[in-house]
Amino acid sequence: MSRINACFERLHAENRAALITFIMAGDGGEATSQAVLNALPAAGADIIELGMPFSDPVADGPSIQLAGQRALDNGHRMADTLALVKTFREQNDTTPIVLMGYGNTVYFHGIEAFIDQAKNAGVDGLIIVDIPAEHDAMLAAPARAKGLDVIQLATPTTDDVRLPAVLKNSSGFLYYVSIAGVTGSQAPDIAKVHQAVTRLKASTQTPVAVGFGVRTAEQAAAIGAFSDGVVVGSAIVDAQARAATTEEAVANVVELTNSLAEGIRRAR
């Protein structure tokens, strides 16, 4: 059983949603990025999304765009992202890590090399936001063949005609984008998200996690009451960005993650 499947199975037994936290690899420098990554599980993160910095993102809001640019300006590259995961695995063999980013960075690195190196580093899944499910053969199929989950995206505009193709090619969990916009740009309408998640869960046994726009413990609790996972990215990236030192960055992220985890734990 994959780490992602084992995580959701454990949380299902605990009757709670997963807290899925996003940070950008290389943001703040390698030492800070590693320290924040290493601190997330104890703070309450059940699954970690690790962003792969890219200069031309299409789905990222200002916070995550700036984090990616800071990482690139620091000289961070794909090999450094994989090194962060490999070091993390020296102390943690249970928390799933999902790499999130764009196809360009993977192609530039080399698809076959990327898949092999990601698997060897301890990566569990991929979210490549600009490669649709209909192009599964390009990256997702070879990744799954090597044991990596490939998480697909459903959005408020994913209709009943396209949904089967998205569900067919998704493993690990399905990522529901709660707003029609970029990350962190607006707060989700909880009632509409509930309706959408109910529709998705009626069509798949794959866990459904909700992200884009979730920033507070109250929002996490409200969505965690009916979803299988809650993804928080921009708020955590902002908390890290406000820090002047590595120690302050870890403290800021841990404080927020603790709050989000508490919100989810009291949701049901």
| Separation of CA 67 from chain center | 15
60 is catalytic: yes
> CA 192, CA 229: separation in Å to the nearest integer?
16
- Find the DSSP H helices in the chain: 3-13, 30-43, 62-73, 78-89, 103-109, 111-121, 140-145, 163-168, 190-201, 217-224, 234-241, 246-265
* DSSP 8-state code for residue 26: T
Which token pair is 187? 């707060």
The catalytic residue among 9, 27, 46, 49 is 49
The catalytic residue among 60, 124, 149, 228 is 60
49 is catalytic: yes
> CA 112, CA 116: separation in Å to the nearest integer?
6
36 to 22, 44, 45, 179, 259: CA distances (angstroms): 11, 13, 11, 27, 16
Residues with catalytic function = 49, 60
